[in-house]
Amino acid sequence: MKWYCPSFLLCAFLSCTATDKTYQNLPDLVSYNEHIRPIINNRCISCHGGVRKKAGLSFLFPEDPFTALEDGKPAIIRGQADSSKIMQRILHHDPEERMPQKAEALSGYEIALIKKWVDQGANWETHWAFLPVNNPTIPSSPSSPHPIDRFIRAELNLRSLQANPQAEKSDLIRRLYLDLVGLPPSLETVDSFENDLIHYEQLVDRVLAAPGYGEKWTGMWLDLARYADTRGYEKDAHRDMWKYRDWVIRAFNQDMPFDQFTIKQLAGDLIDNPSTADLIATAFHRNTMNNDEGGTDNEEFRVAAVIDRVNTSYEVWQGLTMGCVQCHSHPYDPIKHEEYYQSFAILNNTADADRDDQAPTLIVYQPLDESRADSIIQFISGLNPGKNKSRIKQLESDLNELPSASLPILTELPAKQKRVTRVFERGNFMLPGEVVRPTLPAILNNQIKPDSVSRLAFAQWLVSPSNPLTARVTVNRFWAQLFDKGLVATLEDFGSQGNRPSHPALLDHLSWKFSNDFQWSVKSLIKYIVTSETYRQSSNASDVQLKKDPSNSWLSRAPRSRLSAEAIRDQALAVSGLLSDKMYGPSVMPYQPDGIWKTVYSNLQWVTDKGEDGHRRALYTYIRRTSPYPSFITFDSPSREYCVSRRITTNTPLQALVTLNDPVYVEAARHLATFMENEPGTLEVKISRGYKRALIRDIAPKTLQTLTELYHEAARQPASEFSPLMVIANALFNLDQFITKS
Amino acid sequence: MDELRLLQELNVRKLQMQTRRHFLQKCSTGLGALALGSFIGCSDSGKPLQGINPLSTKLPPAFAKAKRVIYLHMAGAPSQLELFDYKPELAKLDGQECPGSLLEGRRFAFIQGVPKMLGPQYSFKPYGQSGTYVSELLPHFSKNVDDACVIKSMFTHEFNHAPAQLFMHTGHGRLGRPSMGSWITYGLGTENQDLPGFIVLVSGGKTPDAGKSVWGSGFLPSVYQGVQCRSEGEPVLYLNDPKGMDRNLKGKLIEAINTINEEALDTYGDPETLTRIEQYELAFRMQVSVPEAMDITKEPASMHALYGTSPGESTFANNALLARRLAERGVRFIQLFHWGWDAHGAGREEALNMGFKDRCKEVDQSMSALLTDLKQRGMLDETLVVWGGEFGRTPMRENRDGKVMTWIGRDHHTECFSIWAAGGGIKGGIAYGETDELGYYGIKDKVHINDLHATLLHCMGIDHEKLTHSFQGRPFRLTDTGGKIIPGILA
């Protein structure tokens, strides 16, 4: 390989291109993170990263490019661009030698940036997300009382954009309710808000205190927890997981601080004197799949479960794609292959082992029986076993008669039975390599240096002040639920291949407040966000806004987003008056078409629940992984096979068929029709009331005219069980504005 | 950039909408073809471009031979040793103990201790000009061998059904990846916007072991998942109008919904609203086009005789005929599953000398008819047909719990199994790959599942290394990190 490069060539190149005026815009100080890293990530790292290290060169770790390569020389000599190989190779006259190889050359501007950066000393910077969160200064102007608005408007001003005024009250209250409880407000609440009998802040407090609040946010969390009611794979048999779901609802409703919420789920069994609730929380990581198919190797699927726990833990709390590191060092982020297995070792000593009996499990009771069971257990423990033998026997049989469930939980193996963890070559458990100790990836951990990190210490580290990612990743998730898009758009990837934050200072401001001022209180965080003017503004879009900011990255308007699968159904049941407010308990089986479950080697049956349980919130619907509830899947709910940070919203004809024809929506239309029927007044009044009930806003004259004509069209048909007002209700459930949040 | 272009298109479409007449007269090609433009043009941010029909046809490059796939999956894994991989030497060893060298370090689902070798249970003969060996259990197919390429050297890494089916259909033995049909519709869209682009038909009374995950879209948008069409009940879920809803009134209803949605479009300029308007029109048309496509009673008697169909039931024969009807109508990927091939010998239905014979009868005539029918219509050249299971069966007789079993059967086997492929881009009348004398290992031209996928995608005009989607930080593809095209089976 030829390595010489006549420097006159370099000079010639730069002198003839430096006159190009784009280079007058070179920054005074070239920043690695802002200017250089994007070039390296897009153009260099796939050959010079964690997987491939061509010519021995990698750009992953700060020492890499400055150490001697295979030919004895480093790629970069600080302060000496002209003598650095990196410059020689990207400027090489021979296309075979020129970097990036077999790809388009770097632009003149990119080359000039790299040259200036090397000449200025080639200062390396840690990726932004791995730097500690600090408390940034709030922009002083523009003058807005709410810090969030100041951060947002500072960016709008830079782009000559104006924030929208506040949304119509009816739209705002609908948005707030759908966002915070996943249901529309009642007409009475709307009236009192529209007539100023209740202020916005009071409304926010009321919504945060509603039981439905916990149900809504649990929906988000269960996607991350890959919660389902079955085990996956062939038999996909039943598993009692609902008690964990109920724990999450209670945790959100009680505003359990997020640090506690984290520790209990990852290591509730290891804290001092864990309560029953703490043990229930550990079912988070028992949502991994089991393979009960005849003739499977239990160790193979136990290992698969632990791998899933590692990947899920890092995605949920760190926004890191650890899955990449299973087979080799991370191609883009500075995490080494063995570091994956050091984390694996932390989670590799729980007692579960892909057994058919799901052991270890915890006996749990249905909500109504819980206190009775507790009191019996307490009473028994107070009795003297010698003296009260028959009494105890009687009480125990009483206890056994209470319907109970076996919740899979985490417990740690005793010291003698601890498993040894080895690196798996290429991620294959049949190819074990070097033994590794349980510890944390170096890039994330500069504080704790124990040689053996327990599962509890791991959980505590995630929520410790030294962890740069947990608060950022978490506030970003909540922000994304409220604004349709995260400040970091890639909720699941805060690594160098993820998107950079649109508002880095705002992200840090929120992260700082969340973990310090708010003491990890999720309700405080949400209240802080929804009381901003940015949240409250209208979503109408002017031509200027569409042109300057088509994807609404700068939030000069409130976003529009389609409701989730769950919210679409809950909303239809709510506005028709069918929705049950019953909380907790085993998952339910509302109407689903016949013949959906025809699974091999399984007797599991879908038995449609009658009465109240047929109309529970979607959150309580039984989820079978290999055959999920069909209308939810149609509206993009995941099958809960793995952790999902971000649902992808699609827009398909099959969705139209659901809201038009699914008996669930037909039944809801019948009840909303009855509501309209019972409203006193003319046909126009009835339709207007139905519209208001469903969409919360007042009907526009044109819409009223369209619907009235539709009514008359329907009335001309021979009488059928689909009454004309049902046709109107059916139409309302299919309006863009009904299934979209504005 | 894309978003700005979209806005311009949005304005054009708005104008069109103001001037158009009744929507039912309008043909919807969507604005997708325009905007997606380049082949495999989905943005790899994971979101289909907003306001665009993600299933619009994308033009494959010139080297594409096949326009569509019909994939016939025999769930449970049929025995290659009774159908395609003729092993006279194995017959001589029948009843003898299996050599220890074949058992050492191996994992089996049920075999324990030292099993006995089991010779082929049926007789074989060479057929056609190619002289391809086929068992007596497939008398119809033996007449079509010159159209098909039998691959005898397939192998897999998964020895349990659910993971092996996932591997076969998603390129990975764990849940969560997109299926082949999803990848192909993601890459190519579909030709008929009035029907789903990826249709699944199931027979044998059960869905496959891995459930609906084998036609799931994994991390791709759900618009690319397979849509199960059913012979009983509604052909597609929620397709039928509710009781008392008149068809004309339904038209008026959708018109009213779209009129109001157009007002919303004016206010918010949201491209999703525009897409929604089009999807409601499409849903209305699908309510007619799907039952029409699924109605095999309209086929002439000669067709029913050819396939051996029995209208009204969910048989494999009916589904094979449906597959041809769907192929004719431009459906991109048609996936059939027929369950019941898991011939362990643990019961009558699972016995090589009983249930297995019935399964062969259920599929032989109709799978051959499908080839004959496609050929006489001139469609075979552009339709890729694949038949096979998820792994093979052992040359040893299964001895569950170490005991001699009442019925004859074979255990799961990963080292080799046989499949066949025909039509679009595949060389007919050849047998590819070889196994050893016992039918235990592949010894020549071994074909990995990733290789098969790479080759199928190649026939569809797709470079398997370029059809990628970023998820959890890295670009994924159907062929994972492997896959080599098999030139030896290409026409």
Task: Looking at the complex, report in whole angstroms how far the Cα of residue B489 sits from the nearest Cα belonging to chain A.
Answer: 30
- Decide if A311 and B160 are in contact by the 8 Å CB cutoff: no
Task: Looking at the complex, report in whole angstroms how far the Cα of residue B434 sits from the nearest Cα belonging to chain A.
Answer: 27
Does residue B88 sit within a domain? yes
Structure token pair of residue A318: 């760190």
Residue A625's nearest CA partner among A117, A309, A235 is A235
Mean pLDDT computed over A92-101: 87
Does residue B417 sit within a domain? yes
B54, B327 contact by CB (below 8 A): no
Measured in whole angstroms, the distance separating CA A622 from the mean position of its chain's CA atoms is 21
Higher pLDDT: A407 or B160? It is A407
Does residue B465 sit within a domain? yes
**From CA B322, how far away is CA B331, in angstroms rounded?**
11
**From CA B140, how far away is CA B335, in angstroms rounded?**
22
Q: Is the dihedral of CA A674, A677, A678, A684 positive or negative?
A: positive
Q: Which residues contact A390 (CB under 8 A, 6 or more apart)?
A: none
Neighbours of B99 (CB within 10 A): 13
**From CA A651, how far away is CA A661, in angstroms rounded?**
17
- The answer to whether B175 faces chain A, any CB pair under 8 Å, is yes
Q: Is the pLDDT reported for residue B121 higher than 50?
A: yes
A288, B174 contact by CB (below 8 A): no
pTM, two decimal places: 0.84
First and final C-alpha spacing in chain B? 41
Q: Name the residue facing A560 among B238, B243, B270 (closest C-beta).
A: B270
Neighbours of B377 (CB within 10 A): 12
**Tell me, what's the ipTM?**
0.89
Q: Which residues contact A546 (CB under 8 A, 6 or more apart)?
A: B7, B269
B229, B235 contact by CB (below 8 A): yes
Q: Enter the DSSP assignment of A496.
A: T
**From CA A729, how far away is CA A707, in angstroms rounded?**
10
Band of the pLDDT at B43, cuts 50, 70, 90?
very low
Q: Is the dihedral of CA A740, A742, B4, B10 positive or negative?
A: positive
Mean pLDDT computed over B366-378: 98
Please report the residues numbered 302 through 321 in chain B whose beta carbons come closer than 8 angstroms to any beta carbon of chain A.
none
**From CA A208, how far away is CA A214, in angstroms rounded?**
9
Does residue B339 sit within a domain? yes
Q: What is the pLDDT of residue A167?
A: 97
Q: Is the pLDDT reported for residue A194 higher than 50?
A: yes
B408, B353 contact by CB (below 8 A): yes
- Decide if B252 and A710 are in contact by the 8 Å CB cutoff: yes
Q: Assign residue A458 a region: left if phi > 0, alpha if psi is -120 to 50, beta otherwise?
A: alpha
Mean pLDDT computed over B234-261: 94
- The answer to whether B74 faces chain A, any CB pair under 8 Å, is no
Neighbours of A65 (CB within 10 A): 25
Average pLDDT for chain B: 86
Q: Which domain holds residue B58?
A: 2-233+308-489
Amino acid at A164: N
Q: Enter the DSSP assignment of A558.
A: -
Mean pLDDT computed over B105-114: 85
Q: Which residue of A lies nearest to B221 if distances are taken between CA atoms? A: A648
Mean pLDDT computed over A515-531: 98
Q: Is the pLDDT reported for residue B62 higher than 90?
A: no
Q: What residues of A are in contact with residue B175 (Cβ under 8 Å)? A: 232-233, 289, 625, 639, 641-642
Q: Is the dihedral of CA B396, B399, B403, B409 positive or negative?
A: negative
Mean pLDDT computed over B390-402: 92
Mean pLDDT computed over B433-438: 96
Residue B443's nearest CA partner among B434, B452, B451 is B434
What values do phi and psi take at A399, rounded to 5? -65, -40
**From CA A218, how far away is CA A281, in angstroms rounded?**
13
Q: How many residues are given for chain B?
A: 491
Mean pLDDT computed over B16-35: 31
Structure token pair of residue B409: 């059967």
Beta carbon pairs, A and B, within 8 Å: 240
Q: What is the pLDDT of residue A329?
A: 80
Residue A107's nearest CA partner among A90, A89, A82, A124 is A90
Mean pLDDT computed over A91-98: 87
Q: Assign residue B37 a region: left if phi > 0, alpha if psi is -120 to 50, beta otherwise?
A: left
**From CA A438, how far away is CA A453, in angstroms rounded?**
5
Q: What residues of A are in contact with residue B159 (Cβ under 8 Å)? A: 295
Please report the residues numbered 113 through 172 in chain B whose beta carbons come closer than 8 angstroms to any beta carbon of chain A.
159-163
Band of the pLDDT at A23, cuts 50, 70, 90?
low
From residue A406, alpha-carbon distances to A286, A305, A620, B216 in Å are: 12, 19, 18, 30
First and final C-alpha spacing in chain A? 61
Q: Assign residue B239 a region: left if phi > 0, alpha if psi is -120 to 50, beta otherwise?
A: alpha
**From CA B185, how far away is CA B333, in angstroms rounded?**
7
- The answer to whether B263 faces chain A, any CB pair under 8 Å, is yes
Task: Looking at the complex, report in whole angstroms how far the Cα of residue A369 sits from the nearest Cα belonging to chain B.
Answer: 35
Q: Assign residue A143 a region: left if phi > 0, alpha if psi is -120 to 50, beta otherwise?
A: beta
One-letter-per-residue 3-state SS of A393-425: HHHHHHHHHCCEEEEECCCECCHHHCCCEEEEH
A594, A606 contact by CB (below 8 A): no
A470, A313 contact by CB (below 8 A): no
A637 strand-pairing partners: none
In this structure, are strands A404-408 and A361-365 parallel, antiparallel, or unpaired? antiparallel
Q: What residues of A are in contact with residue B107 (Cβ under 8 Å)? A: 297
Mean pLDDT computed over B63-70: 92
Q: What is the pLDDT of residue A450?
A: 65
> Could you give the number of structural domains in chain B?
1
Task: Looking at the complex, report in whole angstroms how far the Cα of residue A601 sits from the nearest Cα belonging to chain B.
Answer: 8
Mean pLDDT computed over A297-302: 90
What values do phi and psi take at B70, rounded to 5? -115, 115
Q: What is the pLDDT of residue A402?
A: 87
Q: What is the pLDDT of residue A323?
A: 81
Q: What is the pLDDT of residue A449?
A: 66
Q: Is the pLDDT reported for residue A142 higher than 80?
A: no
Q: Is the pLDDT reported for residue B278 higher than 50?
A: yes
User: A335-353: per-residue pLDDT in tens?
Assistant: 888 999 999 999 999 999 9
Q: What is the pLDDT of residue B2?
A: 45
- The answer to whether B242 faces chain A, any CB pair under 8 Å, is yes
| Percentages of chain B per state (helix, strand, coil), in multiples of 5 | 35, 15, 45
Q: What is the CATH number of the domain that holds B60?
A: 3.40.720.10
Does residue B466 sit within a domain? yes
Q: What is the pLDDT of residue A11?
A: 40
Structure token pair of residue A217: 């946010």
Q: What is the pLDDT of residue B454?
A: 97
Q: Name the residue facing A233 among B162, B256, B272 (closest C-beta).
A: B162
**From CA B251, how far away is CA B271, in angstroms rounded?**
23
Structure token pair of residue B266: 């004016």
Q: Which residues contact A350 (CB under 8 A, 6 or more apart)?
A: A285, A410, A411, A412, A413, A455
User: A265-284: per-residue pLDDT in tens?
Assistant: 999 999 999 999 999 999 99
From residue A206, alpha-carbon distances to A212, A251, A582 in Å are: 11, 18, 19
B220, B211 contact by CB (below 8 A): no
A299, A429 contact by CB (below 8 A): yes
Q: What is the largest CA-CA distance in chain A?
A: 101
Amino acid at A93: H
**Element (DSSP H or E) covering residue B432:** strand B430-432
Q: What is the pLDDT of residue B48?
A: 34
Q: Apex CA A195: angle with CA A193 and CA A200, to 5°? A: 30
**From CA B459, how far away is CA B68, in angstroms rounded?**
9
B383, B70 contact by CB (below 8 A): yes
User: A197-211: per-residue pLDDT in tens?
Assistant: 999 999 999 999 999
A50, A330 contact by CB (below 8 A): yes
Band of the pLDDT at B5, cuts 50, 70, 90?
low
**Element (DSSP H or E) covering residue A677:** helix A663-678
Does residue B301 sit within a domain? no
Q: Assign residue B436 a region: left if phi > 0, alpha if psi is -120 to 50, beta otherwise?
A: beta
Q: How many residues are given for chain A?
A: 742
Band of the pLDDT at B1, cuts 50, 70, 90?
very low
Band of the pLDDT at B250, cuts 50, 70, 90?
very high
User: A145-167: per-residue pLDDT in tens?
Assistant: 899 999 999 999 999 999 999 99
Mean pLDDT computed over A367-386: 85
**From CA B251, how far away is CA A477, in angstroms rounded?**
41
A184, A215 contact by CB (below 8 A): no
**From CA A87, how far away is CA A97, in angstroms rounded?**
12
**From CA B296, how far away is CA A516, in angstroms rounded?**
67
Does residue B69 sit within a domain? yes
**From CA A527, how far away is CA A536, in angstroms rounded?**
12
User: A547-584: per-residue pLDDT in tens?
Assistant: 888 889 999 999 999 999 999 999 999 999 999 999 99
Q: Is the pLDDT reported for residue A652 higher than 50?
A: yes
Q: Enter the DSSP assignment of B390.
A: S
Instruction: Classify A143 as helix, strand or coil.
Output: coil
Mean pLDDT computed over B152-171: 94
User: A114-137: per-residue pLDDT in tens?
Assistant: 999 999 999 888 899 999 999 999
